[in-house]
Amino acid sequence: MLGLTVDQLLFLVRGAGWTLVLSLLGFVGGTILGLPVALARSSKLKALRMISSAYVQLIQGVPLPVIMFVVYFGLSIGGFEVPALVAAGLAMTAYSSAYLGEIWKGCIQAVPKTQWEAAECLALTGPQRFVHVILPQALKIAVPPTVGFLVQIVKNTSYSVVIGFFDLTYSAKVLNNSTYKPFLVFSVAAALYFVICYPLSLLAGRFERKLKRV
């Protein structure tokens, strides 16, 4: 099939599976860490704003493959021999938390100030204002750009190839080394990436149109 054996194709599909696993790790980790980043970025406390801003600047100012290297070798120098999946997962977490934090900060600030004021005038406490009034509205605004960013996460997991993590890109590289059909192998890999990302793009677009209607 396609000039590749079924086993060879399945090898690529297995790589794609690990790409999905790493994407999920990156998204879950990025969410857990990104939410506090978003909160800190829109905090009233200057110190929190500065620390979180420095974190975001740092992560956004370093290429993802370099983050992968730093995490992977940093951990092993620190005496932690971890599987490539863990190192790649941590690097993806750092990467996506910085971007998601920034996206969500924008969503929190997109809720009109008058909503804060109305909640304040009803004697709600600061946390109550945020949880019951601001957050539900910010979440709704956040859905389209967050789903859109999932595509970036999936594609960028391919950088984990630099630390030898077995994902779709890595499996394609290995397969190419044995088949010497680079164009064919990488085309199939490209198609697999597309199959994962395209539905996400469609979904993001649909959410965006839905949000515009309201």
Partner 1 sequence: MDPMVRFQDVHKSFGAVEVLKGITLDVPRGDVVVLVGRSGSGKSTALRCINGLETVNGGELHVCGEKLHDGKTDLRKLRQEVGIVFQSYNLFPHLTVEQNVTLAPRKVMKVGAKEAKELAAHVLAQVGLSEKAQSYPEQLSGGQQQRVAIARSLAMKPKLMLFDEVTSALDPELTGEVLRVIERLAQDGMTMVLVTHEMGFARGVADQIVFMHHGKVWERGGAEMLRAPQTPELQQFVATDL
User: By the criterion CB under 8 A, which residues form the site for partner 1?
Assistant: 114-115, 117-125, 128, 132-133, 136-137, 140, 214
**Residue 38 contacts residue 108 (beta carbons within 8 Å):** yes
Q: Which is closer to partner 1, CB of 105 or CB of 129?
A: 129
Q: How far apart are CA 151 and CA 200, in angstroms?
A: 6
User: From the CB of 133, what's the least distance to partner 1, in Å?
Assistant: 6
User: From the CB of 113, what's the least distance to partner 1, in Å?
Assistant: 10
User: From the CB of 36, what's the least distance to partner 1, in Å?
Assistant: 23
Q: Which is closer to partner 1, CB of 6 or CB of 121?
A: 121
C-alpha pair distances (Å), 210 with each of 150, 152, 205: 18, 22, 9
**Residue 63 contacts residue 98 (beta carbons within 8 Å):** no
Q: Which is closer to partner 1, CB of 137 or CB of 176?
A: 137
C-alpha pair distances (Å), 195 with each of 51, 105, 151: 38, 30, 11
Containing 199, the helix (H) or strand (E) segment is helix 182-213
For every residue of 82-119, DSSP letters joined together read --HHHHHHHHHHHHHHHHHHHHHHHHHHHS-HHHHHHH
Q: Which is closer to partner 1, CB of 47 or CB of 123?
A: 123
User: From the CB of 214, what's the least distance to partner 1, in Å?
Assistant: 7
Q: Which is closer to partner 1, CB of 24 or CB of 124?
A: 124
User: From the CB of 115, what's the least distance to partner 1, in Å?
Assistant: 7
Q: How far apart are CA 209 and CA 214, in angstroms?
A: 9
